[in-house]
Amino acid sequence: MALQVIGCEAVTQLLEKLMAEGRVVAPHQREGNKQWVFEDVKDPCDVCLDYTSTILPPKKYAFPPKEKLLHYELADRPKMEAVIEAEPLVIFGAHPCDIYGLNALDKALCDQKVDPNWVARRAQIRIVGVDCEPDEYCFCGSMGTASVSTGYDLFLTPLNGDYVVEVATPAGEAMMEGIPAREASAEEIAAVKKRLETKLRQERKINCDVNSLPLHFSGFEKSPVWAEVAEKCYSCGTCNLTCPTCFCFDVLDEMDLSLHSGNREREWDGCMLEEFAQVGSGENFREEREDRLKHRFFRKYSYLFTKYGEPYCCGCGRCVRQCLVHIDPVDTINRLLAHSGKEA
Amino acid sequence: MKPRVAMFAFTCCEGCGLAVIECENELLDVLNLIDLVEWREGLSEKAEEYDIALVEGSISTHADEKKIKEIREKAKVLVAIGACATTGGLNALKNRYGMHEVKQMVYGKAGEQFDTIPARPLRAVVPVDLELHGCPIDRTEFLRVVRDVALGKTPKLPDYPLCVECKKKENVCVFFRGMTCMGPVVRAGCGAICPTFGDGCEGCRGLVSNPNENAHKETLAEHGLTVTEVLQHFDMFNSYTEDHLA
């Protein structure tokens, strides 16, 4: 599709138009050192499109930290009703890595058993992507996630104070209706390509081809590197909870105090947490930090990679950015490779 | 029959009892599930018999010690509520001093008339069936426990670090705001109330079962704390050890 160019004022106009139609969420800056969050747009002036990474990925809108699955009422004839709380929503300003994360979860949550809550929300979400400049934690260059070709309706690439807009879907076309835009010149199109090339030149990278990771991991099972890295791990689950491709949850029955009615709820869980693999008898299948850390890495770069054909890591760097003890997937993978003598 | 519940308080501010009184909108529902038979802060009645004892405060006098043993004898279920009862709380800070010195410090010469021994959490004196953490306890958690007990379920309380609750709320990490926090080694369950309202966690809910204390000492040092300050962070609510009794 032809690329268009819009100015900053047109971005504001676009936001205002979308806000008039319904709920719009976008990155906003928070107090603290380089901290942003996706939240509801109240004033387009508060939106910050020039951001590095939000604390939580926009995944939280399709798969909230906590949600109702079922409401029940106890009586002679108990009543039960599945609950899906979904509404039309525009996620404005999602980075390619986060869009990749949503695409990856489309596969994982619709495989064999379709997750109805995920699907109902995803169907009502429109996405306006925006290109970014990687910081010292990003490693999308290594994961092949610096750009995406699907999963958005519009995609904005900043260029000399303007934005080059790719309209990717009919919904995107409708968004752009009435927004002043001109066709992109050949130079501008070339500049967008060049921007991606620059973005791929990241200092931090894994020392092997991303597609060879599952193969390499088959030899990492007994590596001493796991214990070394795990020694400083808190098992606090921060890496799980901030990850765009993690989707584990726990299901709890929450009966009201009246004991007449209640809700079945699901809540984010994380495989790094000590109780995650504990079963009813008290047995814990991954009691040690090392086992849990290793499991998480195998999920990201081996098990799900093999199952779905792509890494379940989008290289966003949230896990290391938010980790107080600086456990870094790039460094860990490179140490594993170096130790096994498989460094490329 | 509804279980008969008695609440008792030892060395503490009785703020956990107050947290129960503050369940204003839910108190009638609570009374549908349990019979409150004794509670100094909320009732005039006293009871000789009860099924469940909810006990706040730490054991820091010989009289406390005698009374908690009596309560244990009578109660089928003993629940420790609040930091003083579960970790020894702030009271245990006195344990590093001699008991004579402590009395002098607070009351001067008049101190000698008081009976005081090193402060202990309840489980250091009698077997405890359940511990509800926090200074004060979390009301929502209290109500959940009441409900679970009424349903005959074993209450499931979190044993993961506070960071989980901060992340779910998308709080900016306290460390990234230039402050320090005990969250990475402290038990969740309070909804990360202090970080949510701008402060660092001080650890009133006690440490998780397997805290990575070494990692946290390094983190605190990395964020500019001296060794003494690091130990103070760990000690505020969690200084009690059995060595105090020697």
What is the ipTM score, two decimals? 0.95
Mean pLDDT of chain B: 94
**CB contact at 8 A, B123 and B80:** yes
Distance from CA of B179 to the nearest CA of A (A): 10
Task: Say what the pLDDT of residue B150 is.
Answer: 82
Task: Say what the pLDDT of residue A32 is.
Answer: 75
**Is B215 in CB contact (< 8 Å) with chain A?**
yes
Task: Say what the pLDDT of residue A343 is.
Answer: 64
Cross-chain Cβ contact A236/B177 below 8 Å: no
Q: In the predicted model, what is the mean pLDDT of residues B190-205? A: 96
Tokens linked to A231: 């020694």
Buried b (16+ CB within 10 A) or exposed e, A44-77: beebebebbbbbbbbbbbbbbbebbbeeeeeeee
Closest CA to A296 of A326, A276, A324, A267: A276
Q: In the predicted model, what is the mean pLDDT of residues B205-233? A: 95
pLDDT band of residue B221 (cuts 50, 70, 90) is very high
CA distance A287 to A273: 10
Distance from CA of B105 to the nearest CA of A (A): 39
**CB contact at 8 A, A82 and A116:** yes
Task: Say what the pLDDT of residue A47 is.
Answer: 97
**CB contact at 8 A, B203 and B172:** no
Cross-chain Cβ contact A35/B215 below 8 Å: no
- Check whether the bond before B136 is cis (ω within 30° of 0): yes
Closest CA to B79 of B27, B15, B123, B125: B123
**Is B195 in CB contact (< 8 Å) with chain A?**
no
Does an H or E element contain A121, and which?
helix A116-123
- CB nearest to B160's CB, from A66, A255, A274: A274
| Residue spans of beta strands (DSSP E) within chain A | 3-6, 23-30, 35-40, 66-73, 79-82, 89-94, 125-130, 154-159, 162-167, 182-183, 249-255, 261-268
pLDDT band of residue B199 (cuts 50, 70, 90) is very high
Closest CA to B152 of B77, B49, B75: B77
In sequence order, the 6+-apart residues with CB closer than 8 A to the CB of A194 are none
Task: Say what the pLDDT of residue A341 is.
Answer: 83
Cβ-Cβ contacts under 8 Å, A274 against chain B: 159-160, 208-210
Cross-chain Cβ contact A324/B160 below 8 Å: no
- pLDDT digit string (tens) for A56-95? 999 999 999 999 999 999 989 999 999 999 999 999 999 9
Long-range contacts of A115-118 (CB under 8 A, 24+ apart): A116/A82, A116/A84, A117/A63, A117/A67, A117/A69, A117/A84, A117/A85, A117/A86, A118/A62, A118/A63
- pLDDT digit string (tens) for B31-74? 999 999 999 988 899 999 999 999 999 999 999 999 999 999 99
Please give the model's pTM, rounded to 2 decimal places: 0.95
Per DSSP, helices labelled H in B75-162 are 83-86, 99-107, 139-151
**CB contact at 8 A, A162 and A3:** no
Cβ-Cβ contacts under 8 Å, A275 against chain B: 159-160
Cross-chain Cβ contact B168/A241 below 8 Å: yes
**Residue B210 CB neighbour total at 10 angstroms:** 13
**CB contact at 8 A, A277 and A286:** yes
CA distance A46 to A149: 28
Cross-chain Cβ contact B209/A289 below 8 Å: no
Cβ-Cβ contacts under 8 Å, B149 against chain A: none
**Is B154 in CB contact (< 8 Å) with chain A?**
no
What angle, rounded to 10 degrees, do the helices at A289-298 and A329-339 form?
90
Task: Say what the pLDDT of residue B152 is.
Answer: 84
Size of chain A in residues: 344
**Residues paired with A37 in a beta bridge:** A28
Which ranges of chain A have pLDDT less than 70?
1, 343-344
Residue B79 has pLDDT above 90, yes or no: yes
Residue B100 vs residue A342, higher pLDDT: B100
Nearest CA in chain B to A234: B212
Residue type at B14? E
Q: In the predicted model, what is the mean pLDDT of residues B123-128? A: 97
Task: Say what the pLDDT of residue A1 is.
Answer: 56
Closest CA to A270 of B46, B158, B157: B158
**Residue B44 CB neighbour total at 10 angstroms:** 7
Cross-chain Cβ contact A32/B176 below 8 Å: yes
Cross-chain Cβ contact B219/A325 below 8 Å: yes
Cross-chain Cβ contact A259/B212 below 8 Å: no
Distance from CA of B19 to the nearest CA of A (A): 17
* Burial class for B150, CB neighbours closer than 10 Å (0-12, 13-18, 19+): middle
**Residues paired with B6 in a beta bridge:** B38, B53
In the Cβ-directed half-sphere of B225, how many Cα atoms lie within 13 Å? Answer: 21
Does an H or E element contain A337, and which?
helix A329-339
Task: Say what the pLDDT of residue B246 is.
Answer: 65
Cross-chain Cβ contact B151/A33 below 8 Å: no
Size of chain B in residues: 246
Going from N- to C-terminal start, the domains of chain B cover 4-151, 163-245
Tokens linked to B55: 């006990």
For the B4-151 domain, the top CATH level (class) is: alpha beta
Tokens linked to B54: 């909810």
Q: What is the largest CA-CA distance in chain B?
A: 57
